[in-house]
């Protein structure tokens, strides 16, 4: 069950939203003040937050900006629900970090529809951020699975990490020292045969199409590029 934060100082409106969203199958934590919500939001990690702007104490826009500056919270979808209906206020709210803006009076059906839309978008963005798609290769960082031309490729942890780093830096020359420091986690001043052996095995496992994307830059390192380049 997805957790929704509701920050609204009007008791009647707060209760209305809470009851309505619970009726749509969401878990709801409701707060009168932004400070109370901010004390719990990092540990709760709600799926979405609904903010009024005019709140006692810290105003809603200030709270939203604080959330967007927090690395662990910055991707939480935020919907502003407020009586402020001027274009200036809407622009300020959206530029301040909100993903959507609704004005009062409002209908609970529309509110629920907007929440569903934001949650769908958030889920899609998260899925896309977990995947790297380059040419014939698909790498999923969350499941640690790799597919080449639609076929699953079994890789060791180090092979997976090597491929991920090269794909994330596609078209860039990555030095051997950079790869050793990033994958093995230490400054390496000896031979690079360990790295070269892993690259050779990785190429073999990826087959002709996938393996040929990993190019050797003589005397420097490797580059992940299109096969035809």
Comparing CA positions, the residue from 33, 28, 37 lying closest to residue 115 is 28
Q: Provide the percentage of residues in the chain whose pLDDT is more than 90.
A: 69
Adjacency order of strands within the sheet including 100-103:
27-31, 3-7, 48-51, 78-82, 100-103
CATH number of domain containing 38: 3.40.50.2300
Arithmetic mean of pLDDT, 21-31:
96
pLDDT tens digits, residue range 86-103? 999 999 999 999 999 999
Arithmetic mean of pLDDT, 142-170:
92
Task: Based on the fold, state whether residues 8 and 118 are members of the same structural domain.
Answer: yes
User: The tokens 């073999």 sit on which residue?
Assistant: 204
Task: Based on the fold, state whether residues 102 and 12 are members of the same structural domain.
Answer: yes
pLDDT of res. 121: 85
CATH number of domain containing 168: 1.10.10.10
Task: Based on the fold, state whether residues 139 and 110 are members of the same structural domain.
Answer: no
Task: Based on the fold, state whether residues 37 and 123 are members of the same structural domain.
Answer: yes
Q: Does residue 229 sit within a domain?
A: no
Contact by Cβ (8 Å): 213, 229: no
pLDDT tens digits, residue range 61-85? 999 999 999 888 888 999 999 999 9
- β-partners of residue 103 are 82
Q: Does residue 37 sit within a domain?
A: yes
Contact by Cβ (8 Å): 46, 91: no
Q: How confident is the model at residue 168 (pLDDT cuts 50, 70, 90)?
A: confident
Arithmetic mean of pLDDT, 136-160:
91
Task: Based on the fold, state whether residues 143 and 115 are members of the same structural domain.
Answer: no
Adjacency order of strands within the sheet including 131-134:
131-134, 137-140, 145-148, 151-153
Q: Does residue 113 sit within a domain?
A: yes
Lowest mean pLDDT among 12-26, 61-75, 114-128: 114-128
pLDDT of res. 187: 56
Q: Does residue 172 sit within a domain?
A: yes
Task: Show the domain range for 140.
Answer: 131-224
Q: What is the number of structural domains in the chain?
A: 2
Task: Based on the fold, state whether residues 211 and 109 are members of the same structural domain.
Answer: no
* pTM score of the predicted model: 0.59
Task: Based on the fold, state whether residues 99 and 198 are members of the same structural domain.
Answer: no
Domain boundary among 114, 129, 144: 129
Q: Does residue 169 sit within a domain?
A: yes
pLDDT tens digits, residue range 191-213? 567 888 999 999 999 999 899 99
- Burial class (CB within 10 angstroms; exposed 0-12, middle 13-18, buried 19+) of 152: exposed
Task: Based on the fold, state whether residues 64 and 138 are members of the same structural domain.
Answer: no
Task: Based on the fold, state whether residues 125 and 159 are members of the same structural domain.
Answer: no
Tell me the HSE value of 201 on the side-chain side, using a 13 A CA sphere.
14
pLDDT of res. 189: 52
């Amino acid at each position: 069950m997805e957790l929704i934060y509701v920050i609204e100082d009007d008791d009647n409106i707060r209760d209305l939203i809470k009851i309505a969203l619970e009726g749509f199958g969401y878990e709801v934590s409701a707060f009168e003040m932004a400070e109370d919500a901010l004390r719990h939001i990092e540990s709760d990690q709600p799926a979405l937050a609904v903010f009024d702007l005019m709140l006692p104490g810290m105003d809603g826009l200030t709270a939203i900006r604080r959330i967007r500056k927090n690395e662990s919270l910055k991707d939480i979808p935020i919907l502003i629900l407020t009586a402020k209906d001027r274009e200036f206020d809407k622009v300020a709210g959206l530029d301040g970090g909100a993903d959507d803006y609704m004005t009062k009076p409002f209908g609970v059906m529309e509110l629920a529809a907007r929440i569903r839309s934001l949650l769908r978008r958030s889920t899609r963005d998260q899925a896309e951020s977990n995947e790297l798609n380059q040419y014939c290769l698909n790498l999923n960082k969350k499941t640690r699975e790799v597919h080449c031309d639609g076929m699953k490729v079994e890789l060791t942890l180090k092979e997976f990490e090597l491929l991920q780093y090269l794909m994330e830096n596609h078209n860039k020359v990555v030095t051997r020292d950079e790869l050793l420091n990033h994958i093995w986690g230490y400054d390496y001043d000896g031979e690079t045969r360990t790295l070269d052996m892993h690259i050779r095995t990785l190429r073999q496992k990826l087959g002709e199409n996938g393996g040929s994307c990993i190019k050797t830059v003589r005397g420097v390192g490797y580059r992940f590029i299109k096969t035809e380049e």
